[in-house]
Structure 1
Amino acid sequence: MASRARRPLPKTAGTSSPAPAPAPAAKPPLSARLMRAAWRGLPAGRYEAGWEPGLEVPAADGSPLITDHYFPRAEGDFPTLLVRSPYGRGLPWSPMYGVLFAEQGFHVVLQSCRGTGGSGGAFDLWRNEPADARAAVDWLRERPWFDGRLGTIGPSYLGYTQWALALDPPPELKAMVVQVGLHDPHTLFHTDGVLHLENALAVGAGMTYQHRGMLSFLGATLRLRRRLREVTTARPLRGAHERVLGDEAPWLDEVMAHPDPEDPYWHGASLAGAAERLTVPTALITGWHDVLAGQTLEQYGRLRRAGCETALLVGPWTHTSALQQGWPEVFAESLAWLRAHLHEDRSGLRPTRVRVHIGGENSRRDLDDWPRDPAATPWFPTPQGHLTPRPPTDSLPTASFRYDPADPTPSLGGPLLSPAAGPRDNSALEARDDVLTFTGPPLTEPVDILGPVSALLSLSTDTGHAHVFTRLCDVDARGRSVNVCDGLGRVTTTGETPSRVTVLMSSAAHRFAVGHRIRWQISGGAHPRFARSPGTGATPVDAAVLTPVHITLHPDSALTLPHAPANG
C-alpha cells in the first residue's frame, strides 16, 4: 500500500511537562460503574476514571463518528488505546474497556463505527474500516493529551477494526490485543460453501440492534430465539431473516447469497495480509469453542512467519464466555501485554509465547510455540461401530444412514454465538438413526491431542449431493459423550463411486483420561448451525425442494488425531 503523508508525531512521554487531565472530568456513566463494581478477580485500579462523552471525530468521508474518551483523572503522560466498535459505546464496552483501562493508566478512545451508535454515514460490513481507523489516528494527533504511544484492543468485529488499522499501521501504533477477533468475514459466514446459518442470524441481530442499547439488542435476541425454527426452515431461506430483523440489514442477504470466497463481492473483505507483514507486537486470545478460533490461529501463524512479536492464549471458552467467565484471565493477559509495550513494564508477561487450556483435565500448559507439530495418528471405523488404530482389511462398506432434510439432524453445542455454545452431552443426538458413531476401547493410559484434527471420509450417495458433519467426542466412564471439536464439508458423488473429502475439524488441546473412550461421530448436517443440504445440489439459501439422501461410509475413511506426549 502506498504510504501517506503524516503530520509530525506529537511529543513522547518525558519530552515536555506532563499533560494535564482533560476537562471536563465527568464520572463515567452509572451503568458502567455498577458493572465495574460487580466484577471479581480483577486488579485494583490505579487511578479514578474520567469521561468525555459524545465527541465528534470526522470519518474519512467527513461523517461524524461519535466518540467517548475515558482517561485517568491525574496529571501526567499516559498512552492511548483506540477501540472502534459497531456495537455502541454502552454496556459492556464502557466498563470493560473505557473504565477498566482508564483506571490502569490509559486514555481510552471508544468510537462508534460509521452508521452505528449515532455516528453519521452508512454502516458497511467491512469497506469503511481502514480509512476510518486512519482518520481516527489523524484526530488523535491533534489532542493535547495524546503522547504518541498508541495501542488497540477489542473482541470480535472490534478485532477486525484493529486489523484494518494494521493494513498500514501508523508509526504511533506500538501494541495490539486482538481478543476472539475477526479478520475474514467470509470465513465467519461460510465453510466449504455452506452457510453458518444460526451464527449469521446472530451476527445480523448484533449488528442491527446492539448499538441501539442493551434493551433493544436483548429484545431482538429473544425474538430470534422464539422464531429460530420458523426462520431457519423457511423455503427458500433468502429473505426469511426479515421476519425477525426487518429490512434493516440488507448486507445480511448479500452475505448469505455469496458462498464462494472468490466472488467479487468479497474483494477486500479479508485482512489476512495485515498480519503477513506486521511488526507491531500483537497478543491474540481465543477459546477452543470460539467461532473465530480458527481465524485466531491463522493470525498467529502469519505473525510468526512475519517475525512479529506475538503471544497466544487459548482458553476453554466460547466466543462470548471469553468475555464473561474468562474475563479475569483475558483482562490480565491484555493488560500485561499493553503495559509491556506501552508502559515498558514487562514484569507481567508470562515466560512462554503460547498458553493453552487443556480440555478433559482443566489445566493450562505453557508452550514455546503453536502448533507443536505432533505426530498425526489415524483412527479407523469398523462395521461393528468400533474405532481402532488398525487399518481396515475389508473392502465392504462400513456403514450407511439416511439424511432427511425435512427432519434435519440437529446441531448441539460447539462454536455458536449463543448460550447453547460449547461442550454438551451428545448422548441424545447420538441415539438418532441419522448419526453414526465409532467408539474406541476404554483407555488404559491417557491420550493427549494438541493441534489440528481432521477427517478423511470416503462416501457415496444416491442423489449425488450431501453434506457431512464430523465430530470428535470424549466418552467418560458413565457413557456421557462430550464434543471436543468438529467440522463440516460438502460431498458430490457420481453413481456408486465413492468420493473422498477431507474435513478440517479445527484444532484442539485435550486429554482423554484413563477409562475414557475416543468417539467419532458422523452425520449429514448440524441444523440450524449450518444451513441444511437440500439433497438436490441446489444452494441451501435458494432451495425450495428437499430430497432425502442415503449416505454410505466406505472403509478407507479415517479420523486423524494430533497425538502429543502426555508431559507436553
Structure 2
Amino acid sequence: MNLNSHLVQRLLRLPPPLTRDLTIERDLRVPMRDGAVLLADRWAPKSGGDGLPTALIRAPYGRAGLTAGPMARPLAERGFQVLIQSTRGTFGSEGAFDPLRREREDGLDTLDWVIRQPWFGESMILYGSSYLGFVQWAVADALPPQVKAMIPGVSESALTLDFLRGDAFSLETPFVWGVQVAGQERPLAMPRQLLRAKKVRRALRTLPLAQADTAALGHHDDYIQNILAHDAGSPFWQGLDHRHRVPDIQVPVSSVGGWYDIFLPGQLRDHRAMQDAGHPLARLTVGPWAHISMGVGQTAAAEALDFGLALARGEEPAERAPVRLFVMGEEKWRDFPSWPPPGYEPRRFHLQPGGALSTEAPAGSSPDGYRYDPADPTPALGGVRMAFGEQAGRVDNAALEARPDVLTYTTSVLEEDAEVVGEVSAEIFFRSSLPHADVFVRLCDVDADGRSTNVCDGLISLTGADEITPATVTLWPTAYRFRRGHRIRVQVSSGAFPRYNRNPGTGEPRATATTLRTADQQVFHDPQHPSAVLLPVRRTRRQASSYVQPEAREEETRTSPPERVTVNRAGSPEA
C-alpha cells in the first residue's frame, strides 16, 4: 500500500486515483538559451505514461517533499504525466538564483524543450501556486499552442511589487520569504526554519533594517537588501512586472485565491484585466483562506483535474460561472458573472462621535486621538499573514481593540443582513504631530456576544501628515455578509507590525532609519472632515434604515473566552 498516495488523497479530498503505481525519472537536463542546465523530474504512471497530457510545475523549492508529494503525485495518479523543474540556481539547477528575474526566458525555453520530448503527447497545462503561479504569468502571453490551460493559485503577475509600495511597505512577507529561501537547501531546513521563527521575528525589529538579514541569517542577503533599497516603482524591478502581458493571454485560466491571501489584490486585478479584454475562458475561485492553507491546495488540485485535464484532452470543462466566491458570514459558496460583481454600490459608513458608525453624515465634533509609539508598535493580529507561528485569517480582535493606540467605531445592531462584496476603501481625515505617519484601517464583524472578528484591512503611509490630510486607504477586497443582530466595526490605528514596517516618524529611508519618534494622532469626523469607510453593499429596502442611526460606544462584557475563528492552515511554506 502506498501510504503517501493515500495520505495525499485524503488531504486534498480527491477521488481514488487511476493508479498508484508511478515511476520517476530524476535529474532530466533541460538546456537554457545561455547554456545553463536546469534539472527536472518526470512523474508518470509505470505503464501508459508516454503521450499523456503533461502538467508542468516550475518551482524554486525543490523537487521532493512538500512540493512533489501534494502537487506532482495526485496529478500523475489521475491522468497526467508531471514534469517538475527546479528553477535557476536552486536544488541542482545551474546559474544563480536571482528571485523572479529569469522566469520568462527560462520558462519559454523549458516549454520548447518539453514539446520536443519523445514522451510528450499533444498537450500540457501549467500548474502551481504562489511563486509557482508567478512563473506561469511570466510566460502566459507567449505560450505554444500545446499549452491548453493555466492553473495559478494564490499568485499574480507582479508578485513582489505590491509589498514594496512606497506608501505601504509590507515588511514581513518579503523578509520572511527571503530568510526561508536563503536557507532552504541546508539539511533539515524545515525544522530549522520552525525553530528560528522567533529569531526571525526579533530580527524584524532591528535598527537599521539593513542589518535585519544579518540578525536573522548571520550574513547579508542580496534579495533582502534589494527589497529594502528599492521601492516598487524603481527601474530595478522592471523585469519582474508582467502585468502588461495579462490582457494578451489567450489560454484558458482558472485562478484560485483566498480572502486573506497576501497576493489577493493583484490576483483580482489580473482576473479583471482578462475579463475586460474579453478573455473567453477565465475563471476565478476565492475562498476563506490565507496564503498557507489546505483549502488552496485542495481547490487548485480539483481545478487541475476538472478544468485543466478536460481542456488538455480536447474536452469542454464542466460549465460554471466565471467567478465563484465564498461569502464569509453567510459561510456559503456563491457564483457571480464577474469581478467585482454587479449590484453592489459603494456606501459611506461615517465615523461618528462617541465611537459610533453610521450612514448618516457626521455632526460637528472634536477629533479623537491616540498616541503611536513605534518602539511599542500596534501589532498585526490575524488577517493577511504568511509567517511561521503566526495565526492568519479571521481571529478575535479583543486584545487589539483593548490597546490605547486603536480607535473603534461601531454601528447599531443590524436589523437585516448587510452583504458586502467587492472593493473596500476608507477615507480618514487624519493629522499627526509629525509629518510622517501611517493610517491602518480594519473592517470587523461584531457578533451578538460582542466578539469582533476581522474581515479586511489596509494601510497607507502619509507625508505631510502634520496637516489635516484625507488619507485614502485601500483595504483588501472581500465577500462578507454581516448578519442581522451583528454590528459593523471599523478600527483606525497607525500600524500593523510586522506585517507593515513601523513608521519611525522621521522620514528616514526604511533601510537606514535608526530613530523612532512617538506621535500624537488625530482622527476627524465632522461635516468638513467626513471620515468614512466605503463598503460595496447590496441592500434591501428595509436595510436602508436598519443601520443608519448612530450609537454611542458601549462597554462590552465578555463572560467567556472568545472563540477563535480561523482559516485552515497547512501545506508548503512557499511564497
What TM-score do you get using the length of structure 1 for normalisation?
A: 0.89
- Of 450, 455, 459, which residue of structure 2 is paired with 1:484? 455
In structure 2, give the amino acid aligned to 1:407. Answer: D
- Of 278, 290, 295, which residue of structure 1 is paired with 2:261? 290
8 Å CA contact retained: 2:153, 2:257: yes
Larger RCO: Structure 1 or Structure 2 (Cα < 8 Å, ≥ 6 residues apart)?
Answer: 2
SS in 1 for 2:422: strand
Where do residues 157-176 of structure 1 align in structure 2 (5 Å cutoff)? 157-176=131-150
Is it true that 1:404 corresponds to 2:373 in the alignment? Answer: yes
- Of 445, 465, 470, which residue of structure 1 is paired with 2:441? 470
Distance in 1, Cα, partners of 2:500 & 2:9: 39
Is it true that 1:254 corresponds to 2:226 in the alignment? Answer: yes
- Of 483, 494, 497, which residue of structure 2 is paired with 1:513? 483
In structure 2, give the amino acid aligned to 1:176. Answer: M
Larger CA deviation: 407-416 vs 239-248: 239-248
8 Å CA contact retained: 2:53, 2:81: yes
8 Å CA contact retained: 1:397, 1:552: no
8 Å CA contact retained: 1:204, 1:245: no
Structure 2, gaps ≥5 residues long: 542-575
| Corresponding residue of 1:230 | 202
| Corresponding residue of 2:323 | 354
Is it true that 1:50 corresponds to 2:31 in the alignment? Answer: no
| Corresponding residue of 2:168 | 194
| Corresponding residue of 1:3 | none
8 Å CA contact retained: 2:430, 2:465: no
Is it true that 1:217 corresponds to 2:190 in the alignment? Answer: yes
Cα deviation for residue 105 of structure 1 reads: 1.2
SS in 2 for 1:176: strand
Is it true that 1:429 corresponds to 2:404 in the alignment? Answer: no
- Of 365, 375, 382, which residue of structure 2 is paired with 1:413? 382
1:336-356 CA distances to partner (integer Å, 9 max, x unpaired)? 110231113335x24211110
8 Å CA contact retained: 2:394, 2:453: yes
% identity of equivalent residues: 36
Distance in 2, Cα, partners of 1:151 & 1:443: 47
Cα deviation for residue 232 of structure 1 reads: 1.6
Q: Structure 1 residues 79 and 246 mapped into 2: Cα distance closer, same or farther (>3 Å)? A: farther
8 Å CA contact retained: 1:202, 1:221: no
1:514-555 CA distances to partner (integer Å, 9 max, x unpaired)? 111100000010111111000111233321111111111112
SS in 2 for 1:148: coil
What TM-score do you get using the length of structure 2 for normalisation?
A: 0.88
Where do residues 118-157 of structure 1 align in structure 2 (5 Å cutoff)? 118-157=92-131
8 Å CA contact retained: 1:339, 1:346: no
- Of 329, 333, 342, which residue of structure 2 is paired with 1:364? 333
1:391-422 CA distances to partner (integer Å, 9 max, x unpaired)? 1131x433111101111111101111134111
Distance in 2, Cα, partners of 1:520 & 1:285: 28
- Of 78, 99, 102, which residue of structure 1 is paired with 2:76? 102
| Corresponding residue of 2:417 | 446
Larger CA deviation: 108-117 vs 121-130: 121-130
| CA RMSD of superposed structures (Å) | 2.0
Distance in 2, Cα, partners of 1:120 & 1:494: 49
Is it true that 1:71 corresponds to 2:44 in the alignment? Answer: yes
Structure 1, gaps ≥5 residues long: 1-26
Larger CA deviation: 504-513 vs 419-428: 419-428
Where do residues 294-313 of structure 1 align in structure 2 (5 Å cutoff)? 294-308=265-279, 309-313=281-285
8 Å CA contact retained: 1:113, 1:119: yes
In structure 1, give the amino acid aligned to 2:267. Answer: T
Is it true that 1:336 corresponds to 2:312 in the alignment? Answer: no
| Corresponding residue of 2:288 | 316
Cα deviation for residue 494 of structure 1 reads: 6.1
Q: Structure 1 residues 319 and 527 mapped into 2: Cα distance closer, same or farther (>3 Å)? A: same
1:300-356 CA distances to partner (integer Å, 9 max, x unpaired)? 0111122222010000111111xx144333321232110231113335x24211110
Distance in 2, Cα, partners of 1:136 & 1:330: 22
1:468-520 CA distances to partner (integer Å, 9 max, x unpaired)? 1100000111111110000000122365x311121110210001111111000
Distance in 1, Cα, partners of 2:360 & 2:409: 14
In structure 2, give the amino acid aligned to 1:533. Answer: N
- Of 504, 509, 527, which residue of structure 2 is paired with 1:534? 504
Distance in 2, Cα, partners of 1:199 & 1:540: 16
Distance in 1, Cα, partners of 2:216 & 2:3: 28
Distance in 2, Cα, partners of 1:193 & 1:207: 26
8 Å CA contact retained: 1:278, 1:306: no
Q: Structure 1 residues 249 and 59 mapped into 2: Cα distance closer, same or farther (>3 Å)? A: farther
Cα deviation for residue 40 of structure 1 reads: 5.8
